[in-house]
Amino acid sequence: MNNLFILFFVVPILALIFLALNMLLAPHRPDEAKVSAYECGFSPVYGQTRSTFQIHFYIVAMLFLIFDLEILLLFPIAVTLYQVSTFGFSIAIIFFIVLTIGFILEIGSGAIALTNFDQPNKNNT
Protein backbone atom coordinates (compact mmCIF):
# COMPACT_ATOMS: atom_id res chain seq x y z
CA MET A 1 0.00 0.00 0.00
CA ASN A 2 0.99 3.57 -0.55
CA ASN A 3 2.26 5.45 2.52
CA LEU A 4 -0.06 8.39 1.87
CA PHE A 5 -3.07 6.07 1.68
CA ILE A 6 -2.16 4.64 5.07
CA LEU A 7 -1.57 8.10 6.52
CA PHE A 8 -4.82 9.70 5.35
CA PHE A 9 -7.27 6.78 5.36
CA VAL A 10 -6.16 3.85 7.48
CA VAL A 11 -4.83 5.82 10.47
CA PRO A 12 -7.98 7.99 10.98
CA ILE A 13 -10.24 4.92 10.63
CA LEU A 14 -8.11 3.02 13.12
CA ALA A 15 -8.17 5.98 15.53
CA LEU A 16 -11.98 6.18 15.32
CA ILE A 17 -12.28 2.45 15.95
CA PHE A 18 -10.07 2.67 19.04
CA LEU A 19 -11.97 5.73 20.29
CA ALA A 20 -15.31 3.95 19.87
CA LEU A 21 -14.00 0.86 21.67
CA ASN A 22 -12.78 3.04 24.52
CA MET A 23 -16.14 4.76 24.86
CA LEU A 24 -17.99 1.45 24.82
CA LEU A 25 -15.75 -0.64 27.07
CA ALA A 26 -14.23 1.85 29.52
CA PRO A 27 -15.88 2.13 32.95
CA HIS A 28 -17.48 5.50 33.77
CA ARG A 29 -17.17 6.11 37.50
CA PRO A 30 -16.67 9.81 38.24
CA ASP A 31 -15.61 10.57 41.79
CA GLU A 32 -14.83 13.75 43.69
CA ALA A 33 -11.17 13.85 42.64
CA LYS A 34 -11.98 13.51 38.94
CA VAL A 35 -14.51 16.36 38.85
CA SER A 36 -12.52 18.77 41.06
CA ALA A 37 -10.25 21.59 39.89
CA TYR A 38 -7.19 20.33 38.01
CA GLU A 39 -3.81 22.03 38.43
CA CYS A 40 -5.17 25.56 38.32
CA GLY A 41 -5.47 26.06 42.04
CA PHE A 42 -9.01 27.39 41.96
CA SER A 43 -11.79 25.52 43.67
CA PRO A 44 -14.84 24.99 41.45
CA VAL A 45 -17.89 27.11 42.19
CA TYR A 46 -20.93 24.89 41.88
CA GLY A 47 -23.86 26.40 40.03
CA GLN A 48 -21.82 28.52 37.65
CA THR A 49 -19.85 27.33 34.69
CA ARG A 50 -17.49 30.28 34.42
CA SER A 51 -15.18 31.73 37.03
CA THR A 52 -12.67 34.52 37.06
CA PHE A 53 -9.32 33.43 35.77
CA GLN A 54 -6.36 35.74 35.49
CA ILE A 55 -5.04 36.26 32.00
CA HIS A 56 -1.48 36.18 33.34
CA PHE A 57 -1.49 32.36 33.26
CA TYR A 58 -2.42 32.30 29.57
CA ILE A 59 0.26 34.85 28.70
CA VAL A 60 2.95 32.85 30.48
CA ALA A 61 1.76 29.68 28.70
CA MET A 62 1.90 31.37 25.28
CA LEU A 63 5.37 32.76 25.98
CA PHE A 64 6.52 29.31 27.08
CA LEU A 65 5.30 27.86 23.78
CA ILE A 66 7.12 30.53 21.78
CA PHE A 67 10.43 29.96 23.53
CA ASP A 68 9.95 26.21 23.45
CA LEU A 69 9.66 26.45 19.66
CA GLU A 70 12.82 28.54 19.65
CA ILE A 71 14.72 25.64 21.17
CA LEU A 72 13.08 23.28 18.69
CA LEU A 73 14.23 25.43 15.76
CA LEU A 74 17.75 25.97 17.08
CA PHE A 75 18.44 22.28 17.72
CA PRO A 76 18.80 21.26 14.02
CA ILE A 77 21.22 24.12 13.43
CA ALA A 78 23.30 23.06 16.42
CA VAL A 79 23.42 19.48 15.16
CA THR A 80 24.39 20.43 11.59
CA LEU A 81 26.61 23.39 12.39
CA TYR A 82 29.57 21.99 10.45
CA GLN A 83 27.44 21.53 7.31
CA VAL A 84 25.62 24.88 7.27
CA SER A 85 28.86 26.91 7.09
CA THR A 86 29.06 30.62 7.85
CA PHE A 87 25.81 31.52 6.10
CA GLY A 88 23.74 29.11 8.17
CA PHE A 89 25.47 30.23 11.34
CA SER A 90 24.75 33.90 10.57
CA ILE A 91 21.07 33.11 9.92
CA ALA A 92 20.91 31.29 13.27
CA ILE A 93 22.52 34.24 15.05
CA ILE A 94 20.04 36.67 13.45
CA PHE A 95 17.16 34.41 14.51
CA PHE A 96 18.52 34.23 18.05
CA ILE A 97 19.02 38.03 18.22
CA VAL A 98 15.43 38.69 17.08
CA LEU A 99 14.08 36.32 19.71
CA THR A 100 16.30 37.88 22.37
CA ILE A 101 15.00 41.34 21.49
CA GLY A 102 11.44 40.00 21.78
CA PHE A 103 12.25 38.48 25.17
CA ILE A 104 13.69 41.80 26.40
CA LEU A 105 10.56 43.62 25.20
CA GLU A 106 8.37 41.11 27.07
CA ILE A 107 10.31 41.65 30.27
CA GLY A 108 10.12 45.43 29.79
CA SER A 109 6.37 45.40 29.23
CA GLY A 110 5.83 43.31 32.37
CA ALA A 111 4.20 40.40 30.53
CA ILE A 112 6.20 37.83 32.46
CA ALA A 113 6.55 39.68 35.75
CA LEU A 114 6.11 37.16 38.51
CA THR A 115 3.94 38.77 41.15
CA ASN A 116 2.04 37.34 44.06
CA PHE A 117 -1.66 37.44 43.22
CA ASP A 118 -2.79 36.38 46.70
CA GLN A 119 -1.95 39.66 48.41
CA PRO A 120 -4.56 42.44 48.21
CA ASN A 121 -3.80 45.58 46.29
CA LYS A 122 -2.50 48.19 48.74
CA ASN A 123 -3.70 51.09 46.56
CA ASN A 124 -7.37 50.18 47.05
CA THR A 125 -7.26 50.16 50.87
Cβ atoms 50, 44 nearer than 8 A: no
Output the tens digit of pLDDT for each of the chain's 125 residues. Answer: 688 888 899 989 999 999 999 999 988 887 777 676 665 555 656 655 565 667 777 777 888 887 788 788 878 888 888 888 888 889 888 988 988 898 888 888 877 765 655 444 455 44
SS3 106: helix
Its domain, for residue 71, covers 52-116
pLDDT of residue 75: 83
pLDDT of residue 45: 60
pLDDT of residue 125: 47
- In a domain, residue 31? The reply is no
DSSP for 25-84 reads HS-----HHHHS--SS-PPP-TT-S-----THHHHHHHHHHHHHHHHHHHHHHHHTHHHH
- In a domain, residue 24? The reply is no
Q: What domain count does the chain have? A: 1
